[in-house]
Structure 1
Amino acid sequence: MGAFTILAIAAAAATASATNLFVSDYSGSVTSFSLTARNGTYNLTQTFKSEACAPNPSWLTIDANRGLLFCLNEGLTSPNGSLSSFTINANGSLNHIKNTTTISGPVNGVIYGAAAGQRAIALAHYTGSAVSSWLLNGGGKFSFNQDLPYTLPHPGPVPARQDAPHEHEALLDPTGQYILVPDLGADLVRVFGYDEATLKLKTLSPLVAASGSGPRHARFWNPYGVSCDGCPTYMYLVAELASTVTGYAVTYLPNGGGLNFTEIYKSTTYDLLNLPEGNAPAEIQVSPDNRFLLISNRNNTSFSLPTPSGALAPSDSISTFRIQEDGTLVFVQLWPSGGLFPRQFSIDSTGSLIAVGNQNSQNMAILLRDVATGLIGEPVARVPLGGNTTCVVWDE
């Protein structure tokens, strides 16, 4: 057993026992799994399944402090999407609270507003070319707040993917006062403030990304790992169509006027000397220790992994970069994701386990990760889903 494996198992074994995860897939299911670990052996057991977010669950937003899970149905086979809510039980089972129709294509959502006051959830709608907002009324109940639809005067440089605005994610800046929405179709990152009383979004000046790059997901970072006045702040933007990650130094404009972005770094998301044609990065995360940036790569089949039968199956990859104090990145590792099309992944709170939703392999893979070096190891557990996997979150 290598040094990496020993370190990773030691870090993970104490925390992995009886940990719940929630996984969504396009068959219509939200499934609960229990991850257990004993003597370095990991096991995933299905404990609950709900069809209340059908037909095409695309994203899960967990509000762990309040024991709530919100599920977005993309509505691939229907004219509209939907938003559903659940309360979470200690054993990982879910109680469905509410479902309501939305603009089509919700694929991502983020909760915003004062922690002890009125809050809302903002949704990014890919096919619906819109951002919407829903007030959270406690106990999983919610009500409509706002729709913001968008149009394009003409297709973008990649007409097949940039025929319309395609909002792909909604995320908060570190201070919680701004919501950012990467728009793959318009080559923008839209920026919003919001009214503290109504939580209605207010449009501010966007970040204009490289033409034809297709912004998908982003993450913020600063050297201290906490929000603070005057801290240097950076944002890393993954562009799906260009297969790039771009780092920006972020400054705050006065009087809630928005954000200013200055490009400081840019590279591919892959092995810099060998970028496969068609590589399509998807998810991006900062490790819990604030030292590494991880990005999933789809459609590259760079690796082969053994299956339970002993045969080899292709796998896409996850890239790891070390974040430098000045916000630049140093490439560390390219490693198999445990399947094809890793659409999304989540890192547990210890940083020692990564749960990957491999969309086209229709599985969830659990990867070990060495928190000291940032290196990822082989899958220690994989479980099939009923359809294309879209999202996985830890209940922590």
Structure 2
Amino acid sequence: MDSSNSAGRAFIGSFTSAGGRGITVAAVDDETGALTALGTTDAVPDPSFLALGRGTGPGGAVLYAVSEMEKGAAAALDISHDVPRPLGETRQVDGDGPTHLALAGGHVLTANYGSGSVTVLPVLADGSLGAAGCVLAHEGSGPVTERQEGPHAHQVLPDPSGRWVLSVDLGTDSVRICALDPATGELRPHGETALRPGTGPRHLAFHPAGGHAYVLNELEPTVTVCRWDSAAGALEAVGEAPVLPTGASGGSNPASYPSEVVVAHDGRFLWVANRGHDSISVLTLDATGEQASLVTTVSCGGHWPRDLALDPTGRRLYAANERSGNVSWFTVDPETGVPAPEGSLEVPAASCVIFA
């Protein structure tokens, strides 16, 4: 089947080293949100995170994937058919264990967890990737010695204004702000925001109004609320909120490692995926975006939810449950923000979900 019109498609990454199929393409039912697998490719080893961009090929859209290997790489894929096809060369990122990637200023940037660095690769005219042109190494460490012996860049993304690139580092308890030169691909350090030591920031998400960001911490089940000044490129931590009920992890309960944070399109709710606790947390946001309050948690529909994604309509959430090998989907109550389970698709070693 030809899927040159990529509307109604989801792309699911998985760990091939743990029995995953690589990248799965799924059709998304407009009425129910149900996923139906269309095709898979293992052309990219361990494609743990994906992003969509544009190219000049038949379908226009291009899929980008990290290869989360010791010697990390990034790849572009043509998705004009139901089985993605490599587009151009797979490129080394000159870093170890890339866990995240994003597009900014005509480049793909990868966050390299193992080496604690961010790599910039140019996007060529056809959507394929050029060789790495800039690698910015982070420095520092944190008090949790078994996890924070050095820098561990876990996420990199542009801010809503497109003026800045932020990288979240679990190993240094900080978020770095850089400026990207679109002409040269040079990443220039601008500032660094220190967060509470030992929290292990993993990912952040911006409020739709653009003035706040929510940093999810992996080593403590909390979210740090920050003000974001896009004119100055300044991030300021102003508070924290728990993402699990008191006593939900620790003691006789399994440890929990939050993995992903998602903000509602209207800015009223915030959702968090929790590995170990195997739940989705629902938090409300006040009108300013500065106060986050935990409301409840619901089952993630599997085990070890590594990723959480909101569909383009904002009506459904999808959890990629790595260890149970499935992607589960939920309908979100528009009044309460609480997700209700609707179904599940088997995807061994699932790691992320994105939508066209």
TM-score normalised over the length of structure 1:
0.80
Is the partner of 1:325 in helix, strand or coil? coil
One-letter amino acid of the counterpart of residue 173, structure 2: D
8 A contact 1:269–1:295 mirrored in 2: yes
Q: 1:38-117, aligned counterparts within 5 Å?
A: 43-54=34-45, 56-63=46-53, 66-75=60-69, 79-89=70-80, 92-98=82-88, 99-102=90-93, 103-113=95-105
- The structure in which a higher percent of residues are helix is 1
What is the distance in 1 between the residues matched to 2:11 and 2:198?
A: 34
Q: 1:123-142, aligned counterparts within 5 Å?
A: 123-142=110-129
Partner in structure 1 of residue 242 of structure 2: 268
What is the distance in 1 between the residues matched to 2:270 and 2:87?
A: 35
Partner in structure 2 of residue 197 of structure 1: 183
Partner in structure 2 of residue 147 of structure 1: 135
Q: By how many angstroms is 1:252 displaced?
A: 4.4
Change (3 A) 1:354 1:260: closer
One-letter amino acid of the counterpart of residue 112, structure 1: A
In structure 2, which of residues 105, 109, 115 is the aligned counterpart of residue 122 of structure 1?
A: 109
8 A contact 2:227–2:238 mirrored in 1: yes
Q: 1:9-28, aligned counterparts within 5 Å?
A: 19-27=8-16
Partner in structure 1 of residue 274 of structure 2: 297
What is the distance in 1 between the residues matched to 2:189 and 2:34?
A: 46
- Can you give the 5+ residue segments of structure 1 that lack an aligned partner in the other structure? 1-17, 114-118, 228-232, 301-315
8 A contact 1:268–1:275 mirrored in 2: no
Q: By how many angstroms is 1:157 displaced?
A: 1.1
Q: By how many angstroms is 1:51 displaced?
A: 1.1
What is the distance in 2 between the residues matched to 1:92 and 1:68?
A: 13
- Can you give the 5+ residue segments of structure 2 that lack an aligned partner in the other structure? 1-6
What is the distance in 1 between the residues matched to 2:145 and 2:159?
A: 30
Q: 1:1-396, aligned counterparts within 5 Å?
A: 19-27=8-16, 29-36=22-29, 43-54=34-45, 56-63=46-53, 66-75=60-69, 79-89=70-80, 92-98=82-88, 99-102=90-93, 103-113=95-105, 119-143=106-130, 144-152=132-140, 156-221=142-207, 225-226=208-209, 233-252=211-230, 254=232, 258-261=233-236, 263-271=237-245, 273-277=246-250, 278-300=255-277, 316-326=278-288, 327-378=290-341, 380-386=342-348, 388-395=349-356
8 A contact 1:253–1:260 mirrored in 2: no
8 A contact 1:70–1:84 mirrored in 2: yes
- How many equivalent pairs are there? 334
One-letter amino acid of the counterpart of residue 295, structure 1: V
What is the distance in 1 between the residues matched to 2:217 and 2:209?
A: 26
What do residues 360-379 of structure 1 show as CA deviations (whole Å, max 9, x unaligned)? Answer: 1111111121223312102x
What is the distance in 1 between the residues matched to 2:228 and 2:314?
A: 26
8 A contact 1:129–1:149 mirrored in 2: yes
Q: By how many angstroms is 1:289 displaced?
A: 2.5
One-letter amino acid of the counterpart of residue 146, structure 1: C
What is the distance in 2 between the residues matched to 1:275 and 1:355?
A: 23
What is the distance in 2 between the residues matched to 1:36 and 1:49?
A: 19
Q: By how many angstroms is 1:122 displaced?
A: 1.1
What is the distance in 2 between the residues matched to 1:211 and 1:384?
A: 38
Q: By how many angstroms is 1:248 displaced?
A: 1.4
What is the distance in 2 between the residues matched to 1:298 and 1:332?
A: 18
Q: By how many angstroms is 1:321 displaced?
A: 1.3
One-letter amino acid of the counterpart of residue 268, structure 1: P
One-letter amino acid of the counterpart of residue 126, structure 2: G
Q: By how many angstroms is 1:381 displaced?
A: 1.9
Q: By how many angstroms is 1:197 displaced?
A: 2.4
8 A contact 1:264–1:328 mirrored in 2: no
What do residues 38-66 of structure 1 show as CA deviations (whole Å, max 9, x unaligned)? Answer: 6x6x6532211111111x11100112694
What is the distance in 2 between the residues matched to 1:358 and 1:59?
A: 14
One-letter amino acid of the counterpart of residue 61, structure 2: G
What is the distance in 2 between the residues matched to 1:104 and 1:344?
A: 21
Change (3 A) 1:371 1:139: farther
Q: By how many angstroms is 1:92 displaced?
A: 3.8
One-letter amino acid of the counterpart of residue 262, structure 2: Q
One-letter amino acid of the counterpart of residue 57, structure 1: P
What do residues 217-258 of structure 1 show as CA deviations (whole Å, max 9, x unaligned)? Answer: 01121xxx355xxxxx1111111102111111223465xxx3
Greater displacement, 29-38 / 163-172: 29-38
One-letter amino acid of the counterpart of residue 354, structure 2: V
